[in-house]
Amino acid sequence: MTTIIITTTMVTVFTGILALLLTIANNTIANYGEVEVVINDDKEYLVQGGNSLLSTLVDQKIFIPSACGGRGTCGYCKVKVLEGGGPVLPTELPWLTEDEIRNHMRLSCQCKVKEKMKIEIPEELFNVREYEATVELLEDMTPEIKKLRLRLKEGEEIDFKPGQYIQVKIPTYDGNDEEVYRAYSIGNPPSVKNYIDLYIGYTGGIATTYIHKFLKIGDTVHINGPYGDFYYHDQSDREMIMVAVGSGIAPILSILGYMKDNNIRRKATFYFGAKTPQDLFELDLIRGLEKELYDFKFIPTLSRVKEEHNWTGERGRVNIALEKYVENGVNKEAYLCGSPGMIDSVVEVLTKKGFTEDTIFYDKF
Encode pLDDT of 147-190 as tens digits.
999 999 999 999 999 999 999 999 999 999 888 889 999 999 99
CATH architecture designation of domain 239-364: 3-Layer(aba) Sandwich (3.40)
Secondary structure, 3-state, the chain? CHHHHHHHHHHHHHHHHHHHHHHHHHHCCCCCCEEEEEECCCEEEEEECCCEHHHHHHHCCCCCCCCCCCCCCCCCCEEEEEECCCCCCCCCHHHCCHHHHHCCEEECCCCECCCCEEEECCHHHHHCEEEEEEEEEEEECCCCEEEEEEEECCCCCCCCCCCCEEEEEECCECCECCCEEEEEECCCCCCCCCEEEEEEECCCCHHHHHHHHHCCCCCEEEEEEEECCCCCCCCCCCEEEEEEEHHHHHHHHHHHHHHHHCCCCCEEEEEEEECCHHHCCCHHHHHHHHHHCCEEEEEEEECCCCHHHCCCCEECCHHHHHHHHCCCCCCEEEEEEECHHHHHHHHHHHHHCCCCHHHEEEEEC
pLDDT given at position 21: 45
pLDDT given at position 364: 85
Closest CA to 146 of 227, 38, 250, 35: 250
Tell me phi and psi for residue 141, to 5 degrees: -90, -40
Closest CA to 219 of 184, 187, 173: 173
pLDDT given at position 30: 57
Sign of CA dihedral 245, 248, 251, 254: positive
Q: Look at phi and psi of residue 231 and say left if phi exceeds 0, alpha if psi is from -120 to 50, else beta.
A: beta
Q: What is the pLDDT along the chain (365 residues), one digit of tens a residue?
A: 445 445 444 544 454 454 444 444 444 445 679 999 999 999 999 999 999 999 999 999 999 988 776 788 888 899 999 999 999 999 999 999 999 999 999 999 999 999 999 999 999 899 899 999 999 999 999 999 999 999 999 999 999 999 999 999 999 999 998 888 899 999 999 999 999 999 999 999 999 999 999 999 999 999 999 998 899 999 899 999 999 999 999 999 999 999 999 999 999 999 999 999 999 999 999 999 999 999 999 999 999 999 899 999 999 999 999 999 999 999 999 999 999 999 999 999 999 999 999 999 999 87
pTM, 2 dp: 0.84
pLDDT given at position 66: 83
Q: Look at phi and psi of residue 104 and say left if phi exceeds 0, alpha if psi is from -120 to 50, else beta.
A: left
Q: Which fold has domain 128-227?
A: Elongation Factor Tu (Ef-tu); domain 3 (2.40.30)
Where do the CATH 3.10.20.30 domains begin and end in the chain?
34-125
Where do the CATH 3.40.50.80 domains begin and end in the chain?
239-364
Where do the CATH 2.40.30.10 domains begin and end in the chain?
128-227
CATH code that applies to domain 34-125:
3.10.20.30
